[in-house]
Amino acid sequence: VIVLLCLLGLFLLLLLIACVNAARIAAKPRPAAKPAEGQALERADGYARSLSKMIACETVNPRGSDSSAKFARFREVLAECFPRVHAELEQTLIGDALLLKWKGRDPGRGAVALLAHSDVVEASGEWEHPPFAGEIADGCVWGRGAMDNKGNLCALLSAAEELLGEGFVPPCDVYIASSNNEETMGDGAPNTVAYLQKQGVRLDLVIDEGGAVVSAPMPGLKGSYAMMGIMEKGYADVRFTARSDGGHSSTPPKNTPLARLAAFVHHVEKHSPFKMKFTPPVKAMFRELAPYMRFPFRLLFGNLWLFGPLLKLAMPMVSGQAAALLKTTCVFTMAEGSGAPNVIPSSASVTANLRFMVHQARDESLAILRRLAEKYGLEMEVLYSSDCSPVADTGSERFRFVRRCVEEVFPEAPVAPYVMLGGTDSRHYSAICPCVVKFGPSILTPQQLASMHARNENFGVEALGRAVAFFRLVLTSYQ
């Protein structure tokens, strides 16, 4: 009884501390919104027309295809929309990846790189507006690539075009890089990085797509938040193969290739072999968001030291996205077996897609799966892999600079660091830059987020004006 009373007393004490801590993390009032830069909003219709032309130039680039003619035409469209950029910036083609150099006042300083890929994914299904018409309707520009990622490319080129017209010269060299095969994890970005390395270019800051200004990114939140990506999970495609002597389906042996694969897949799905953990970047995200949460959530997420174990159990029940923040994920996406229904295959395979988290990065996660596959008599082949990106230092001078720009252009949206579950070109730039920020200055509605790689993709005209204002501020205030 005494032991139980002591445990109860300890629990109540911890709960009291948590409540005090939650009260200390007082609910922050949301900042008041203010209009974006007036000039950018006045010109938003012109930006929308440029984006419309960019969307109408279809740049789907399937792996293994020759899409050079598409990108040659796309560069012609860019030259039409941004004549000063075309005339005054030094242009280099690395395959079909475009690299523009804007010479600064002091070329000896570390440079800045602004990234936005120009390829888009295919557009299937029925759309409200044709996917490659670039129609402007209902305050939005519609079409494949509007949001991912021609909208950001249009915004940064529009900012450069205007500043060139005003006679502005940046304090350091500025590179604008637009790869041609980001969607297929192609060689455009890595080849561009290799070129910059060969030229001896040193980058101090890279800004690419990633986070954005989104509505209620977590439970317990209301309103918009600017999520600045500070890292990307790793990535791998892995094939598992089971072999046998094959045979006819009328005399089936035990443990056929498909049976072993099914048992393996069931084990991974039912008993995930990967650990769940609140890593430092995830803790940083919740530390920034907790003060804006409603009280029950503020109590939980503001006291991870106490409620972390409970949340590790609860978050996977909320959504797959919540679980993916805490661990390496493995999902089986492809399967191959016999070519006929009455033939036992001599070999069968399943392919899985993995996304690594920093506490169990590529090598450890793959080793875990390899050991498990061996228990089921399977061969494992890594088809492609890349490790987790480095985590950006949110306390660094460059990161704080970008954050200030975000806060000025999007004052209504509290800023928080963000762990990216997908991949971008910027992960390659970590090799030549200490500060890689993954933030596209886009205001995205839930419908727009849902249209990512799906139907009815669009970008708000007013949001495009805000994006231009962001890039203007970055370029004119960078020191």
* Distance of alpha carbon 226 from alpha carbon 237, whole angstroms: 31
Sign, CA dihedral 116-120-121-127, equals positive
* Cα dist from 130 to 115, 135, 209, whole Å: 27, 8, 25
* Distance of alpha carbon 231 from alpha carbon 401, whole angstroms: 18
* Distance of alpha carbon 330 from alpha carbon 350, whole angstroms: 12
Q: How far is CA 153 from the centre of its chain?
A: 16
**Cβ count near 372 (within 10 Å):** 17
Question: Is 381 marked active-site?
Answer: no
* Distance of alpha carbon 102 from alpha carbon 106, whole angstroms: 11
| Candidates 182, 209, 288, 425; catalytic one | 182
* Distance of alpha carbon 209 from alpha carbon 96, whole angstroms: 20
Question: Is 182 marked active-site?
Answer: yes
Phi first, then psi, for residue 467 (nearest 5°) are: -65, -40
Q: Which of 109, 94, 89 is nearest to 176 (CA)?
A: 89
Residues 357 and 273 sit within 8 Å (Cβ to Cβ): no
Residues 242 and 258 sit within 8 Å (Cβ to Cβ): yes
| Candidates 58, 96, 119, 161; catalytic one | 119
H/E run at residue 248: strand 247-248
Residues 236 and 396 sit within 8 Å (Cβ to Cβ): no
Helix ranges (DSSP H) in 219-301:
257-270, 280-289, 295-301
Catalytic residue positions, numbered:
119, 182
